[in-house]
Amino acid sequence: MSSHLDHIYPVFDKMLPREAKEELLGQKGRVIWMYGLSGSGKSTLANLLERHLHAEGRLVKVLDGDNIRSGLNQNLGFSDEDRLENIRRVAEVAKLFAETGAIVIASFITPNNELRKLAREIIGDEDLLEVYVKASFEACAERDPKGLYAKVKAGEVKQFTGKDSGFEEPDRADLIIDTEAHSEEESLKILIEAASTT
């Protein structure tokens, strides 16, 4: 029985190589994948890092969970299968950007090690900096920047990560930033140092 893949003929070998694009930009493409609970500080740090790298003359693209779910992944919910497909699509998009020489900052909850492993397999070790933005459920609920935790408490949000849906501590992470132990400024400094050495 034939598969739809039997009728696909990639032409990667005929395209301009990645090295030519990186030379044009004067930078190496990479993906900085930041994950943690909602309210841990991922988006804040991603946006601050983007501005810092842009000021240095770098081409940067932020892929943010809410933004992606309002467009590319608007057809996905929060079941285990949909979460996996969400991360698979984002990792593929991040890889495409990195291959053009862009620095990609991905900000997604990525709640378990299976999803993190999937992202790493798609993007590749050599292009990935995996950053766990750590904060407790209680601290995130107190911050509640989007009002989500209040909605969870009122029963308006289901399958919420950290409450109805679990969040696993990472098996591995290239960097852990504890935003309860560090200020926003300190957290950004740690992130910039790690990003500049990859």
In terms of pLDDT, which residue wins out, 177 or 162? 177
Range of weakest confidence among 58-72, 119-133, 140-154: 140-154
Q: Return the domain boundaries, the chain.
A: 24-196
**CATH for 24-196?**
3.40.50.300
pLDDT digits (tens, 9 = 90+) for 118-128: 999 999 999 99
0.75 surpassed by pTM: yes
Confidence of residue 78 (pLDDT cuts 50, 70, 90): confident
Q: What is the pLDDT of residue 180?
A: 94
Average pLDDT rounded to a whole number, residues 96-109: 96
H helices present in 56-183, as ranges: 65-69, 80-99, 113-123, 137-143, 148-153
* Contacting residues for 84 by C-beta, under 8 A, at least 6 apart: 114, 115, 118
Phi, psi at 161, each rounded to 5°: -65, 130
Q: How far is CA 124 from the centre of its chain?
A: 14
Indicate whether 138 pLDDT > 90. Answer: no
